[in-house]
Amino acid sequence: MSDSPMDIFWTDKRVCVTGGSGFLGSYLLKRLEARGAKSVFVPRIENYDLVVLDDIRRMLQDARPDIVVHLAARVGGIGANREHPAEFFYDNAMMGIQLIHESWKAGVDKFVALGTVCSYPKFTPVPFREESLWDGYPEETNAPYGVAKKMMLVQSQSYRQQYGFNSIFLIPVNLYGPRDNFDLESSHVIPALIRKCIEAQERGQRSIEVWGDGSPTREFLFADDAAEGILLGTERYNLSDPVNLGSGEEISVRNLAGVIARLTGFGGDFVWDPSRPNGQPRRSLDTSKAEALFGFKAATRLEDGLRETIEWYRQHRAAGPSGGGS
């Protein structure tokens, strides 16, 4: 049986995946293996601190990559972003800016930068189109993170214009799935709600407190679908114009809580705390460019992905909270 063009693409490539040991990285590595990638280098933070220039240079010397897929990031929910805005800005900016520059200097053939939906202006018209990215300032609670990640887009376009450096910039919406971060201090809304519902059910609690008033809408992308989108973009897309990766399903946080309650079997009430921040009012992406430019369309419906994530958490929670995401 002959190899597909995608498999041939990866066969002789040396690939460096920053954040490869994190949440999204675990899905990307599995899909790379399935595509026949033979040489994949995953830098671990114990050996390479990607905020430090010397460590970035040493990593590139050790990996000698043809392709760099930059997933590594300091990430977290609204609470973590509010408590550590300086770190969210500095760490993400320094990682991205130095890594792109050193990759160009090292002769890397292609750089894949992952942005964030948090870079969009607070009141972006829905669905978010890539052309709206610069039409205003991001929502305040995660603006330092969003702006730091968006700097990679400016750099990608600048280095392509001046040096002909082939880098792309993909913007995934909020990710979720098995192996997500379920630590309530730093987790995003889906793992936090799943954990709260299951623990409340076990303790016989009648209610769960949730931040905000439940009115904001969100869109979520199953992590395995995101990994597929990133690899399709790597294989088929060679421009620095930003491209959204999403599922096309918009849901309010209030309705999301209801679905998770139903799927976990939690029969109590949600107590909404409007004194806590809501975050961005609406969040939903126009994903038509990803499909048109490199054939990506999400395969997992939200309810199916939630069911799989809940089942994974029930099976693995005895071992303690899972590792953080990238």
Q: Mind telling me the catalytic residues?
A: 145
User: Is there a contact between 175 and 305 (Cβ–Cβ < 8 Å)?
Assistant: no
What DSSP letter does each residue of 262-304 carry, written as one string? Answer: HHHT--SEEEEETTS---SS---B--HHHHHHH-------HHH
The secondary element (H helix, E strand) that includes residue 217 is strand 217-222
Q: How many degrees, rounded to 5, is the angle at CA 325 between CA 319 and CA 326?
A: 150
Give the integer Cα–Cα distance in Å for 247 and 297: 7
**Eight-class DSSP state of 224:** H
**Interatomic CA distance for residues 38 and 22, integer angstroms:** 20
306 near 251, Cβ under 8 Å? no
Which are the contacts of 81, defined by CB distance < 8 A and separation ≥ 6? Answer: 88, 141, 142, 144, 145
Instruction: Identify the helix (H) or strand (E) that includes residue 36.
Output: none
Structural element, H or E, at residue 261: helix 253-264
Which residues lie across from 271 on neighbouring strands?
209
- 243: which 2 tokens? 């491209």
| CA–CA separation, 135 and 217 (whole Å) | 20
Which tokens is 3 given?
Answer: 């190899």
Which helix (H) or strand (E) element contains residue 155? helix 143-163
Q: Strand 250-252 relative to strand 217-222: parallel, antiparallel, unpaired?
A: antiparallel
What distance in Å separates the CA atoms of residue 229 and residue 235, rounded to the nearest whole number? 10
